[in-house]
Amino acid sequence: MTALLDLGVHALRSAYRAGTLDVRRTVEEVLKRLQQAGDDKVWISRASDQALRAQADALDLRRGEIEKLPLYGVPFAVKDNIDVAGMVTTAACPGFAYEAKDSAEVVKRLVVAGAIVVGKTNLDQFATGLVGVRSPYGVPKNPFDAAYVPGGSSSGSAVAVSAGLASFSLGTDTAGSGRVPAGFNNIVGLKPTPGLFSSAGLVPACKSLDCISVFALSCADAAAVLEVAADAKTTPAIGATFRFGIPSTKDAEFFGDTAYAALYAQSIARLKSMGGTPVEIDYAPFRDAAQLLYSGPWVAERTAAVGDFMEKADDKAGVWPTTRQIVLGGRNYSAVDAFEGQYRLAELKARAFAQMDGLDMLVVPTAGTIYRLADLEREPVLYNSHLGHYTNFVNFFGLSALAVPAGFRPDGMPFGITLIARADAERTLLAFGAKWQRTVPLPLGKTTSALPPADADPVVAETRVPIAVVGAHMSGLPLNGQLIELGGRLENATKTAPVYRFFALPGGPPQRPGLMRVGDGGGAIELEVWSLPSDKVGAFLTKIPSPLGLGTVILANGTGVPGFLCEAHATLDARDITSLGGWRAYLKTLAV
């Protein structure tokens, strides 16, 4: 056993299965690393060495059940606003502390699956902050440079994974707390759709927005945790070609950090090399929604959570001054403000979703810059708000998100991007994130761990719908771009069964073909069969003008697929071009 033991979830499982490692040896290695780390301010409390060894020994006796325990012998950390039975929950406030009688639902699931709780991690007090410095228990040391913030509020959880002290960890995310620390620690941060993970046993920050999140070294490891922690839905995969939204040049904000700006541009170029097409969006509704979180009535939701405690707490309670200022500021908002805020949010959400239409995901910097601890002493509130520029809106809009590493500044500080998609797209994002990690090979956190083998990567089976096109949607013709923009893929070129009449409909430009099935006197018409992701078919239907529509088109081999057909009345004054055999042949007659 050496300090080079790979604590990755899949690495441990592989070693356990091979019989080259037992859980007791893993726990001894973790204890050794904890001792070497010293007072790194990562932990608020830890399971005792004796308790960890006892858990390890109990699991070693159950080695025969390893296939039934997907997280067998995997050590993990828990943010200290999430309950673990028998341990104290503080939310980083000594005066608030209580011993949890029961574990949070997510923790229960992980432990039943064989995972081992190492301890409770430090955080921005009451999960209020994105910096990781608002704690009377100290500032967890950023493994890349202790002069820089670790990111928050899930600071200790992120550092524990990045520094190789735990295989994965639980954080929380209200405004970006499960993503910003991932970006600053060169690890993966999965922020699930609000409500996907049970919030039972979580000390609330903003109860309507809070999510329990996952930190891991790889997307494959995060996916393994997801499978245990929640009953995730299956969503369509991101295909070989995809469209991703990015802020326009005028909307991109890096707060003077030219290195982060360059790394973001480099990330966009890499996504293009992976088959992506960047699409500039109007970032205003996303930005404006982000600003609501700390300058609107949602501050009052934090007051509803812990305001009474703070008002009664004396100086010995350890309430952080900036946290008190923020939380008690919610008393300044009225019920009218709350309703007006909801109306404003609904308007912004509608505008934002219109910008996302036709896109597979948004790709934004996880944060526009990173600050030194000394910077936060000068501007504790303003600089914290800067870190939420690309994160605050996500839970407001009910979206899923995944932060992934994307490079390093010249001074060695990590940079990350965040992939943002509609609700319930966690598996889709993790599958794409795994491809990203193989395309952009980087260290995993600050460890010597390696990516799991490719066969461990999460995979989402893509559901596609075939569509037969006979006119301007065929390859190289004017409307083909409508299919490509929605992720269309050419499957094959063929002909219809000889049961159709084909017409050039009056009107235009552009001219339109009309395919109509007949009882006799029909011909075989050239066509192309394209396919679309199932979730994009509806968007395509909105682009089809009357009198055209989708029906079943019979192909030459006798199979039927959805395709363009024409209403009979529209062919009365149309030119019959059946004898030409297809739209391309008809277009040639016009060019003569």
Q: End of a domain among 392, 425, 456?
A: 456
The residue annotated as part of the active site, out of 177, 213, 449, 531, is 177
The residue annotated as part of the active site, out of 79, 108, 349, 446, is 79
- Say if 22 falls within a structural domain: yes
CATH number at residue 273: 3.90.1300.10
Distance from chain centroid for Cα 196: 13
State the Cα–Cα distance between residues 329 and 326, nearest whole angstrom: 5
For residue 3, what pLDDT is reported?
46
Residues 17 and 36 in one domain: yes
- Say if 3 falls within a structural domain: no
N-terminal to C-terminal alpha carbon distance within the chain: 80
Q: End of a domain among 429, 456, 483?
A: 456
Q: Reduced to 3 states, what is the DSSP secondary structure of residue 246?
A: strand
Residues 558 and 447 in one domain: no
- Say if 491 falls within a structural domain: yes
Report yes or no on whether pTM surpasses 0.85: no
Residues 473 and 427 in one domain: no
Question: Could you tell me if 176 and 394 are in contact, meaning their C-beta atoms sit under 8 angstroms apart?
Answer: yes
Would you say the C-alpha torsion 119, 123, 128, 134 has a positive or negative sign?
positive
State the Cα–Cα distance between residues 160 and 154, nearest whole angstrom: 10
Residues 405 and 476 in one domain: no
From residue 172, alpha-carbon distances to 99, 153, 503 in Å are: 20, 8, 60
Question: Tens-of-pLDDT digits for all 592 residues of the chain?
Answer: 344 899 999 999 999 999 999 999 999 999 999 999 999 999 999 999 999 999 999 999 999 999 999 999 999 999 999 999 999 999 999 999 999 999 999 999 999 999 999 999 999 999 999 999 999 999 999 999 999 999 999 999 999 999 999 999 999 999 999 999 999 999 999 999 999 999 999 999 999 999 999 999 999 999 999 999 997 676 777 877 799 999 999 999 999 999 999 999 999 999 999 999 999 999 999 999 988 887 778 889 899 999 899 998 888 889 989 899 888 888 989 899 999 999 999 999 999 999 999 899 999 999 999 999 999 999 999 999 999 999 999 999 999 999 999 999 999 999 999 999 999 999 999 999 999 999 999 999 999 999 999 999 998 876 789 999 999 999 999 999 999 888 888 999 999 999 999 999 987 666 789 999 998 899 999 999 999 988 788 889 888 888 998 899 999 999 999 999 999 999 998 999 999 999 999 999 987 6
- Say if 2 falls within a structural domain: no
Residues 237 and 133 in one domain: yes
Q: Reduced to 3 states, what is the DSSP secondary structure of residue 560?
A: strand
Q: End of a domain among 435, 456, 477?
A: 456
From residue 48, alpha-carbon distances to 11, 55, 86, 106, 163 in Å are: 25, 11, 12, 22, 20
Would you say the C-alpha torsion 210, 211, 212, 218 has a positive or negative sign?
negative
- Say if 311 falls within a structural domain: yes
Structure tokens belonging to residue 115: 């995972």
| Closest by Cα among 469, 467, 478, 468 to 587 | 478
Active site residue 153: yes
Question: Could you tell me if 135 and 124 are in contact, meaning their C-beta atoms sit under 8 angstroms apart?
Answer: yes
| SS3 per residue for 310-363 | HHHCCHHHCCCHHHHHHHHHHHHCCHHHHHHHHHHHHHHHHHHHHHHCCCCEEE
- Say if 275 falls within a structural domain: yes
| Closest by Cα among 139, 137, 143, 180 to 165 | 143
Residue 589: other Cβ atoms inside 10 A: 10
Residues 434 and 471 in one domain: no
Beta-carbon-side half-sphere exposure of residue 20 (alpha carbons within 13 Å): 9
- Say if 29 falls within a structural domain: yes
Residues 421 and 537 in one domain: no
Q: Which residues contact 417 (CB under 8 A, 6 or more apart)?
A: 264, 267, 363, 364, 365, 366, 403, 404, 406
**Residue tagged 């004017």 (tokens):** 478
For residue 518, what pLDDT is reported?
93
Q: Which residues contact 18 (CB under 8 A, 6 or more apart)?
A: none
Active site residue 385: no
- Mind listing the pLDDT tens digit for each residue in 433-447? 999 999 999 999 999
State the Cα–Cα distance between residues 21 and 72, nearest whole angstrom: 12
Bridge partner list, 550: 564
Residues 430 and 486 in one domain: no
The residue annotated as part of the active site, out of 45, 103, 135, 153, is 153
Active site residue 475: no
No. of helices (H) and no. of strands (E), the chain? 19, 21
| Closest by Cα among 359, 409, 404, 129 to 247 | 359
Q: At what angle do helices 105-112 and 219-229 cross, to 10 degrees?
A: 110
Residues 93 and 139 in one domain: yes
State the Cα–Cα distance between residues 219 and 221, nearest whole angstrom: 5
- Say if 314 falls within a structural domain: yes
For residue 2, what pLDDT is reported?
42
CATH number at residue 483: 3.10.490.10
Residues 518 and 570 in one domain: yes
Residues 370 and 488 in one domain: no
State the Cα–Cα distance between residues 59 and 533, nearest whole angstrom: 44
Residues 403 and 423 in one domain: yes
Question: Could you tell me if 413 and 366 are in contact, meaning their C-beta atoms sit under 8 angstroms apart?
Answer: no
Full domain range(s) for residue 519:
464-591
State the Cα–Cα distance between residues 69 and 32, nearest whole angstrom: 25
Our CA angle for 229, 50, 115, nearest 5°, is: 15
Number of domains in the chain: 2
